[in-house]
Structure 1
Amino acid sequence: MDGTRRASFGAASARCDRRRAPRDQRGNTLIEALVSFLVFALGLLAVAGLQQRLRLDADIARQRSEAARLGVGEIEGVRAFAQLASAPGIGSFDAIGAHLRSVDRVGGHALNTRYRIERRVEHAGAALKTIRVDVGWSDRFGTTRNLALDTLVARSAPELSGALVLPRTGPTLRGARARSAIVPLGARDLGDGRSVFKPGESGVLAYVFDNVSGDIVARCTVDTATPTRSLTAAALGDCDTLRGLLLSGTIRFSAGADPAAANDAPLPLEVTLALTGGRYPAAATCTTEATKSVQAELGGVLQTTLVPLPATPASLGASRWLELGERFVAYHCVIEPLASGRWSGRLTLRLAGWRIGNANTERRVCRYSPDLDGSGAIDRPIEHPASYVDVAEALSQQNYLVIPGDRSCPDGVASNGALATLPHQP
């Protein structure tokens, strides 16, 4: 009886287990669905956060670009002063100071934030001001952002900025008296943007230079007794319009072949420039003049100047006079270039009463040839080559050294403008 009861109980338990199994499985499936939904929701939240961050970063980048543009505009506005001294209603260098303003619209279009532009003068000197421009704004979440720009503003005349747009028809380097360095130092300024120069003080020709380009624009006849320093526009006689370039330099003499101390008495000579490469309007005109340096009081002013070798205190009207020992021949060649504005050719020296050769009774001509660009070759006109090719501008400091024929030209090509010579004749 007991056995039968136990068998019936076991069969009933087995039926109950079979009925419970499907309900347990349905519960597990629900939990899995809930977990999957939770993971999916978290993923959506992460994507939404990423999108929000990308939008914020893009917004900040755009605002930073706008801030940079506003800051640069403020700096350019500071630089655009019209004069140096302060004046009512006119922007000036002296009036540059602190300034604060806000911007929320540009060109009639609203910006997505308000910018606070503050300009401060960190340092103010007589010739220079240090400017800082701070541009601040708030992003879409209210966080304060800032961009700072620093610059220097020089106290330079605004009209000088116009030189940047001038065509380069000649050297831009400015020498003495605020004119092209190609204009001979002794040329007299006529006060109308031109200067006049008489290559030979005893000659009858004078050349008129454009002060900006250094080009020769006219050739005039003058009185032989009128030196360059006394020439005026009224003193110029018949003038011919001329488009010319100047080739100039010095010829020094040394019995010891020392290029750094060549102050021996000059020998009589002529300079010729043979033009090549085309049909020129006219042959090159070259003049020479033996010159010495003196310290003289002229017109009540004590000055160091170059004068013709035969000059005396009486001939120049100098009350004080000291010869400094420097002697050389100054030469000037005027070239009327081809239609292209260029010329080519070779310059040679002809000594009067002396011969060019290798004997001790003859003379050798060397040329100063600095390797200015360090290339190891003399291949630029300014470096004084043996022959010039396609020269498009005036050249100065094309200097020569004359030594005994049995001596060698000081060896080597100098770099950085140091003294050195190369053989030129023979």
Structure 2
Amino acid sequence: MNKRPNPPSHRPARQPRGVALLEALLALLIMAFGMLALAGLQNSMRRSADLAKQRGEAVRLAQQEMEWLRSFSLATPPVNADPNVLAFDDILARTLNTDAGSNTNFTVVRTIDSPLDLLETQRKDIRVSVTWTDRSEGAQIVTLDSILSRSPPSLGVALGLAPDATPVRRPGGRDGAIPLNAKDLGDKSSVFRPSPSTATVWVFNNLTGVITGVCNLPNTPVADISPIDIEACRDNALGFLLSGFVRFSAASPSDPGKPVGTALPMNLELLRSDEPTLLPSYQCFHDAPYSLPSTQTFVAYYCIVYPKISTSTLWSGRLNIVDIPLSGPSAKTICRYSADYDGDNKIGNAEHPADYVSVGAALSRQNFLVIPSGEQCPSGHAVDPSQGWFSNTATEPHQTASP
């Protein structure tokens, strides 16, 4: 008996399960690279944050050093000075190792450069560098540069003080002490020849009235001088103008407002009470007559005074008129126009004192009156527009007859 064969079974094929070894290794490799990259990123961020913190600390140290240098209160330290008081002359180069409480040590290096040029001795070029080593043993540096001036720190207070007088318009848009007939070169400077008989030409800073150059231009009229002509001598000097007029009176009593008399041959002498750096310490020009008789009624004078550069840009001294006899039959008495013009109960340098003290600016209208010997210097009068008096004519004795 034949049996019917069993029909073939149609079981579905078994699907593969799990992850092949190669795929697992590849995934592990990718994950490892990712973890390494993440670890590297974290390390880089930590290093960058640490470097940023160190750089900020270095900048703070450099600024602290710079601000300490700016806190000087004196130009020159006095004898037996307080060690806690910083003077300008005390600012010297130094190296300082500091521990700022960080994970590294900082080295602060201060470098000082004092220019040797005549006009630049009143400043110091300062560089403060802070160096350190970061986590990766790399050398790092932060540098700050600045310039310190010898100017007295007390001048900063003047910015908060109201002016004593109403502001007035400057003649020609420049300092009022610059002579009116000085030529403006249009580059914030002016040129002036102090005497028609000299080849000397002075260069003024229009803003400050300081003489910044002394030139020798014998064949060039002032009206024809250009900026190119003074280029080589524009900044070769530092001096202050001292100028005024000398009037003469032969009448008795003398009228200081309208003196009547003719000019005499004379010269000027500046007796310095400080120790000037340059010799000669001054140079004066005038237009006094060489001989008598003369029809000239007054003498105009202009002096350049060189300050004491070594410690400050100031000068002190006394201006006298010489070669006019103070004794004998033709003796004269020399008075100076001087009064407390600004009402501050003292005679300042601009008000023509007998002796100038610590002058640091140009002085003009320092006028004299020469009267016969034996007369008292006229008291004159103050300004009084109601009586037609528009100038103060008070005078004080300056050089009297010798006993």
TM-score by length of 2: 0.50
Task: Please tell me whether Structure 1 or Structure 2 has the larger radius of gyration of its CA atoms.
Answer: 1
| Higher strand content, 1 or 2 | 1
